[in-house]
Structure 1
């Protein structure tokens, strides 16, 4: 509200959100800057109409134009101040061929005018527009952009382009940019260059901004050698103080490289880069650090079946300030894909190492409309306060009343990280028509995958390059998944079997301490279709799930469970089916109070897909939860999946209809009822438009 316009001041932030403190007025004058009011959000409307065209008076002349008008009404409930809703934008482009022959010369020019009241629905300029013009604060007023230049081209050999740009925002900003780009592809040389120089003046600051990037490559048969350079010099001086602003910076980077091979097939390139950085210190741009980088870029194998590429970069950052240690970093990326024995075995490997930072992340929970959030709050200790450890992922839409909002962190820890993934597929399908043992193997199919990502605290010059290192020393983050699925008669629904084994582990660093989660699964599924209409599905599994929280002992548990499900489906057609199922589950907690759950679930479901873009599916289920332990605890919420001990009933219905090519209608309804409570009904209607 602004200082003196409210009776509250900001105090602190909790899991429930921001907390404000009342400050009594003094002599009738408010002392705070917040007030307990809710602003009414008025409906708005933004419309835009565009007309464009072109004119070609001759083969050497091309003229294009575009005009747009926008209508931006910020309050549809009121007609006050509607006189400034409309704005216009104009654009003209022209190109003239000045000379044609062995070489070509074109002149081009363009002009854009955008009124201050014009509002576009989509972005008008590229995402780097503000930085290109040093627009740290977007000026207001009518905007005009004039462009003119020359293009010289030697077909299939070289091009040179000069471009002049003039940008104005009424009287608040004026800038001029000169851009030069060149490309030459000669017999043994390839030269690329891009540079720009900006000089601007505004009500807030004046600036100069120079940038350039150049590559020169010499080819010697299958070999090449070259140099490259990049530079930026950005100096913005504030009008009020005459000092350089915080966006001012300067760097210069140069290096050389050599390579051999075909860059589209098999090749290798090694190179060296040196970069010096100047930053703002005591109002001046002075040298703060420099770095030396050595890199290898290669594709070592490239065939119809195989692909192996490797990139690695080692950088050592030296600081000019005495007493500051050098900072090394290693970035590596290896990608390998291959197929063996006529696609019998398929292998995919990815490996990466890199340096980074990890934040000791702080977060809060903010209440939103039911169904719009992700989390629900359970007051486990009954004190009426929303505490971080009392929020759970909501299993039902009516409970999803909170979202997690991450707060800006001031604590970052430097890390060395590695990431590895491996996938192996065995597919003996090609032996379908074979005999003997190969015929038996053709019924099987196996997929195995392993992935891991580790984050360790950076220590001196030591790098974490081993993705299989199980050491706990300095480990800050971990995500590990190991999975294998073995199929028999995959996808055939004829005595089909699927065995799945899964193990996963995750660790994260939060401001409230470390959190760990582990999961394990053994699952066997049998599917068989008989008499062309009856589908039997039998599933059994054993699973484990463990959670460890460093500072919240009430969230520590280790669950072991066994499940079995039988389902019989009657297939009316390929588009309609009706199911009857029964499921048994037993879960026990091996820590704390040794809670136990014995659950029986049975019910029926259906699915239908119409011929005219209509689908519907639904389910009704009865559950009997035999639970021993405290029902109001994190472990109970996890084991009961948001339901209550005793008798429970759940139901759901989803209807989807494609109204037109660009319009879809979704109707969703679900409900539940627990023993001794009233039924809860949740529904939603969604109309989606595709543009």
Structure 2
């Protein structure tokens, strides 16, 4: 409130709006009748009820609505056989009351645009009104020759809208020639405007047998929507007008290959007074095709290039641009499945809004992030750099919300998804010589890259492997690579895995760039001396990096190594226990502070399952940490991960119980004692009902 007048100055009230129970129902009935040889009549009626609040009887008078339609169709043969010319007549009438609510859209997707209610992009909403729709058409056609059609339509929406639409279409097939044309002319009168919408389109193509039935063609289209105010002849800003010309050629589609090429030019015009003036000219080239040289190998792809030229009178927000849009897919299987690979490469361009992140408090323990104000300035105000992923769920009191700003940048996007699996066993499973040993090896490799950049010198928009990009040209980049070499993979006795994983992310926000990287090299082995016992050992060496442009206190480069032996005992199918030990050493090599951490982690885990009805899980951990450095710092938090220097104890118990066919109960308890801090107890109960 105002400190002087006490007048409220805000826009919101601390009120939680209750959601009323709603009910939507519909009942429909229809009947059809056939007369003569080719005549039919169909009619259908539907009654809907849409109650926005079942607990209230107020305003119930607008809950129900009626809709009905009737269609009459007849075909007149103009010759003695079925291949003769035929005249098809169709007439229909549709009535929809203002309060009728359909469960699902029942009209064609382009309905609002066809009647010039939606804009050029097909976006538009028609307010509720009593509607009447009349349609009639005459179609004269002959099989394998073609057809010609004329249609008439009238659409009335109370006194808000009256539209009259004429349409015509032509199809002609003769000696390899194919002529397809259609067009419509719509005039409307509305309460605040009158419109005229003209939409012709024609396609002329020829199939050439001498060129293995390749097809070449020419296509032309126009859309001109004149929208004028009732009081004058000036075109409204919502008017649009464009011409489009396209030439194309394509092969006959087959099981092994197909190819199509096209080039198009589009002229756009903007309303200016009572006429239009040039806005832009766009030239496009497209290539699409598939190729399957063998049963187990398949290529498919598409590539488009668009060059936009802008008129001198165009608004400043519209700028010339050259963009690519493409996708390539490759699926291959070689040597009887010994090598399998999948590759997807995509290229695109678009507008990307600049992002900013805000953190919103939620119910304690139901979020994802923790606020670490004490590690920074301790000013009681939330700054984005003071938020971290919560190490324990009961500390997760905030969620991160992405806010889209009103500032947009043009981006070039490149992405690559690649995976390959090499299994010599598929070919050498019965070999006896050295190939038997080689068949025990296998390789699994995957790579994912998603990159968004701005146009800048030296930046290739099509190259996803170019990751060293100046911050002025970078929007975001994410990389996830994983490569593993297996020996005796999935063998019941033992196996060995040698691998590397690399996870990188870099994003430019309003507050500057932030980058993270986690790189690991690992060696893992498993040995099952018996059915009940399993022994595993893991060795890992890695590096974690964080770099923030404006908040240097968040920067670190942590080098680590760890070893993790594990013993699993399985005395029965219903009970399992695991003893695990982890020795890990971390050291920050960035700067001269040199924070270090040595952790000894011993944990015991047990699980008991009683068929599919209930399961009990228990785990206890003792973690001894020797930490050197400032624990109340971003680097200290990254090294300790919510724990403290000294002795730490963690324990938890979980119970899942199936109470009925559709009802499940989950109980959990977590406790911890970290360093000299007090003991923390967290209990949760959840009932899940599946309908």
Structure-1-length-normalised TM-score: 0.84
Distance in 2 of aligned mates of 1:609 and 1:145? 64
| Corresponding residue for residue 442 of structure 2 | 445
Match for 2:51 among 68, 72, 87?
Answer: 72
Task: Report how far residue 304 of structure 1 moved.
Answer: 0.8
Runs of 5+ consecutive residues of structure 2 not aligned to the other structure: 119-123
CA spacing shift, 1:361–1:341, aligned 2, 3 Å: same
SS for the counterpart of 2:357 is strand
CA deviations 1:168-225 (Å, max 9, x no partner) are 4433333344555666666523444454444333334333333354433211122221
CA deviations 1:427-460 (Å, max 9, x no partner) are 1122111111211122222112233333332148
| Corresponding residue for residue 414 of structure 2 | 418
CA spacing shift, 1:259–1:623, aligned 2, 3 Å: same
Task: Report how far residue 359 of structure 1 moved.
Answer: 3.0
| Corresponding residue for residue 311 of structure 2 | 320
CA deviations 1:310-360 (Å, max 9, x no partner) are 433332211111798742223343333323222222233333333333333
Do the aligned partners of 1:485 and 1:499 also contact (CA within 8 Å) in 2?
yes
| Corresponding residue for residue 624 of structure 1 | 623
Comparing 287-296 with 58-67, greater Cα deviation is found at: 58-67
Comparing 513-522 with 573-582, greater Cα deviation is found at: 573-582
Distance in 1 of aligned mates of 2:578 and 2:141? 70
Comparing 554-563 with 457-466, greater Cα deviation is found at: 457-466
Do the aligned partners of 1:97 and 1:104 also contact (CA within 8 Å) in 2?
no
Match for 1:139 among 127, 143, 157?
Answer: 127
| Corresponding residue for residue 674 of structure 1 | 673
Say whether residues 1:428 and 2:424 are aligned partners.
Answer: yes
Match for 2:216 among 200, 219, 225?
Answer: 225
| Corresponding residue for residue 648 of structure 2 | 647
CA spacing shift, 1:641–1:32, aligned 2, 3 Å: same
CA spacing shift, 1:555–1:462, aligned 2, 3 Å: closer
Match for 2:40 among 50, 58, 61?
Answer: 61
Distance in 1 of aligned mates of 2:651 and 2:516? 29
Distance in 2 of aligned mates of 1:383 and 1:216? 72
SS for the counterpart of 1:84 is helix
Distance in 2 of aligned mates of 1:462 and 1:311? 23
Output aligned runs, 1:195-594, within 5 Å: 195-221=183-209, 222=212, 223-239=214-230, 243-260=234-251, 262=253, 265-280=256-271, 285-321=276-312, 326-370=320-364, 373-379=367-373, 380=375, 381-430=377-426, 431-459=428-456, 463-469=460-466, 471-473=468-470, 474-571=473-570, 577-591=576-590, 593-594=593-594
Distance in 2 of aligned mates of 1:461 and 1:288? 31
Comparing 218-227 with 679-688, greater Cα deviation is found at: 679-688
SS for the counterpart of 1:438 is helix
Task: Report how far residue 266 of structure 1 moved.
Answer: 2.1
Runs of 5+ consecutive residues of structure 1 not aligned to the other structure: 1-6, 8-21
CA spacing shift, 1:471–1:44, aligned 2, 3 Å: same
Distance in 2 of aligned mates of 1:232 and 1:484? 53
CA spacing shift, 1:635–1:461, aligned 2, 3 Å: closer
Do the aligned partners of 1:73 and 1:85 also contact (CA within 8 Å) in 2?
no
SS for the counterpart of 1:439 is helix
SS for the counterpart of 2:277 is strand
Distance in 2 of aligned mates of 1:195 and 1:122? 29
Match for 2:161 among 146, 157, 173?
Answer: 173
SS for the counterpart of 1:411 is strand
SS for the counterpart of 2:406 is coil
CA deviations 1:248-305 (Å, max 9, x no partner) are 2222111212344546532333322111111245786321110222333333544312
SS for the counterpart of 1:635 is helix
Distance in 1 of aligned mates of 2:60 and 2:563? 69
Distance in 2 of aligned mates of 1:153 and 1:583? 80
| Corresponding residue for residue 121 of structure 2 | none
Distance in 1 of aligned mates of 2:459 and 2:295? 39
Do the aligned partners of 2:486 and 2:497 also contact (CA within 8 Å) in 1?
yes
SS for the counterpart of 2:435 is helix
Comparing 621-630 with 385-394, greater Cα deviation is found at: 621-630
Do the aligned partners of 1:84 and 1:117 also contact (CA within 8 Å) in 2?
no
Distance in 1 of aligned mates of 2:87 and 2:576? 69
Distance in 2 of aligned mates of 1:241 and 1:631? 74
Do the aligned partners of 1:93 and 1:108 also contact (CA within 8 Å) in 2?
no
Say whether residues 1:94 and 2:91 are aligned partners.
Answer: no
Distance in 2 of aligned mates of 1:658 and 1:214? 66
Distance in 1 of aligned mates of 2:642 and 2:172? 67
Do the aligned partners of 1:87 and 1:118 also contact (CA within 8 Å) in 2?
yes
Task: Report how far residue 383 of structure 1 moved.
Answer: 0.8
CA deviations 1:219-239 (Å, max 9, x no partner) are 112222111233322233345
SS for the counterpart of 2:607 is strand
Q: State the number of aligned residues.
A: 661
